[in-house]
Amino acid sequence: MLLAVLKVLKYSMSSKESSLFGLEQVMKHKKALVIGSIILLIVIVTLWAKDILQWEKNDAGFSEPVVDPALVSAAKLADSLDYLIYFEEKADLTGAYELSWEERGWYVYDTLVAQAEESQAKVRKYLDKRGVTYQSFWIDNVIAVEDSNALTFNGLMKFLEIESIQSIPVISLANPIGGVIDEAPESLDQATPNQLHINADDAWSAGFMGQGLVVGSIDTGVRYTHEALKDQYRGYSEETYFSHGFQWWDAVNGSVAPYDDHGHGTHTTGIMVGTDRFGNVLGVAPEAQWMACKAIDKNGSGLGWDFLECGQFMLAPWDQDGQNNNPNLRPHVVNNSWGNCSQSYTDWFAGTIDAWLAAGIYPVFANGNASNCGYEMPPGLGTVGSPARAFNVTAVGATGADDGQLANFSTWGPTDDPDTLNGEPYPLIKPQVVAPGVNIRSSVSSADNDYAYWGGTSMAAPHVSGLVALMWQAGDCLLGDYAQTENLIEKSAVPIPYETGSGDEGPGNVPNHATGWGEIDVIAAVEEAEKFCGDSEEMILLSGSVMDGGGHGYPLYARVSLVSDHHKPVTYTDPFDGSFSMKVYRDVLYNLEITSEIPGYQPIQETRLVFSEQNAIRDYQMPVVLSCDAPGYLPVEEVVKFGKEIPDAGLCSIQEGGLLAGFVVDIRTGLPADDASISRDGYFVESQGTPEDPNLPDGFYWAFQPTTQDQESITILAAKDFYQSQEVDILIKQDSITQKDFALRHYRDILKASSSMLWEKVVDFAGVVWDKIAVFGMMIWDHIAQFFIQIWEKIAAFFSNIWQSIVAFFNRLSEILTAWFIRTFKP
Is 73 considered catalytic here?
A: no
Residue 818 CA: distances (Å) to CA of 804, 805, 807, 810, 815: 21, 20, 16, 12, 5
Do 265 and 291 contact (CB within 8 A), yes or no? Answer: no
How far is residue 634's CA from residue 757's CA, in Å, rounded to a whole number? 52
Nearest Cα to Cα of residue 452 among 441, 439, 463: 441
How far is residue 520's CA from residue 524's CA, in Å, rounded to a whole number? 9
By three-state DSSP, how is residue 309 classified? helix
User: How many other CB atoms are found less than 10 A from the CB of residue 682?
Assistant: 5
How far is residue 362's CA from residue 314's CA, in Å, rounded to a whole number? 11
With residue 796 as reference, give the H or E element that holds it. helix 747-825
Q: Which amino acid is at 734?
A: Q
Rg (CA), the chain: 38
Please measure the distance between the N-terminal and C-terminal CA atoms of the chain and give it in whole angstroms. 110
By three-state DSSP, how is residue 196 classified? helix
How far is residue 741's CA from residue 264's CA, in Å, rounded to a whole number? 52
Is 12 considered catalytic here?
A: no
How far is residue 536's CA from residue 358's CA, in Å, rounded to a whole number? 28
Is 219 considered catalytic here?
A: yes
Residue partners of 164: CB distance under 8 A and separation at least 6: 65, 66, 67, 68, 85, 86
Spot the catalytic one: 92, 140, 201, 219. Answer: 219
How far is residue 755's CA from residue 745's CA, in Å, rounded to a whole number? 15
Name the strands in the sheet holding 579-585, side by side, starting at the edge strand that comes first in the sequence: 579-585, 539-548, 615-622
Spot the catalytic one: 458, 492, 596, 679. Answer: 458
User: How many other CB atoms are found less than 10 A from the CB of residue 615?
Assistant: 10
Spot the catalytic one: 197, 226, 244, 264. Answer: 264
List, as own/partner pairs, every contact residues 678-681 make where C-beta atoms lie below 8 angstroms and the sequence separation is at least 24, other chains included.
Answer: 678/703, 678/716, 678/717, 678/718, 678/742, 679/716, 679/717, 679/719, 680/705, 680/714, 680/715, 680/716, 680/717
How far is residue 467's CA from residue 463's CA, in Å, rounded to a whole number? 6
With residue 527 as reference, give the H or E element that holds it. helix 522-533
Widest CA span in the chain: 169
Helix and strand element counts for the chain (H, E): 16, 39
By three-state DSSP, how is residue 144 classified? strand
Q: Angle at CA 54, nearest 5°, toward 52 and 57?
A: 110
Do 577 and 545 contact (CB within 8 A), yes or no? Answer: yes
User: How many other CB atoms are found less than 10 A from the CB of residue 642?
Assistant: 5
How far is residue 762's CA from residue 766's CA, in Å, rounded to a whole number? 6
Q: Which residues are catalytic?
A: 219, 264, 458
